[in-house]
Amino acid sequence: RNMGQAPTIKDEAKRLAALSEYGIDHVLSDTGLNNLLNLAANVFNVPIVLVSLIDEQRQLLAAGLGISVCETSRDASFCAHTILRRKIMVVPDARLDSRFKDNPMVVGAPHIRFYAGIPLRTLSGYAIGTLCIIDLKPRRTLSARDEHNMQDLAALVMERLEMRRLELARNASQVRFENIANTSPDSIICVNEKGIITFWNASAE
């Protein structure tokens, strides 16, 4: 939405609201997501692959390969720069980049040198985080084929995250429905596709 420019306060509020719908505040135990990270590591021959989410103050790793930290400050995050872009951001050698040469993850562990990240966008267009690949030695920029592969992998990652968002929304809707039904004077009974009763309220009982 911002074509590489700093987001407005209103845009950032909407982006954070979109991020909150995924309900992620810790590293996910998602086999499908971890398989995608392993695939990315093999495709690009890199030791570190991350799915990072950028909230108001921090970068949270929803999934990670080759790194032990679970979160960093937003100020120290490469990915906070990536979400402001429309396309892939590539840093061939972080030591030579004025934005990152003093970054604690460059001068200290894990000693990032090469970074490539692509924004993870919701269906509404908000960049909630990134899929990124990291190497501990400098590399050249990505080829057109590499960029295509990153786009495909990012789409698959978003599919996994979207499945989680939809499941959370479904569960929340069910809870809201049951709370309303439990205070209703009308008899309410729910059955599944097999005709088995799955819910009834006090009036129905």
**Which residues have CB under 8 Å from 117's CB, separation 6+?**
78, 79, 82, 88, 89, 130, 131, 132, 133
Place of tokens 């003093």: 102
Q: How far is CA 76 from CA 22, 51, 65, 103, 161, in A?
A: 23, 16, 19, 6, 24
pLDDT in tens, 158-195: 999 999 888 888 887 787 778 777 878 888 888 988 99
pLDDT in tens, 88-128: 999 999 999 999 999 999 999 999 999 999 999 998 899 99
What is this structure's pTM? 0.79
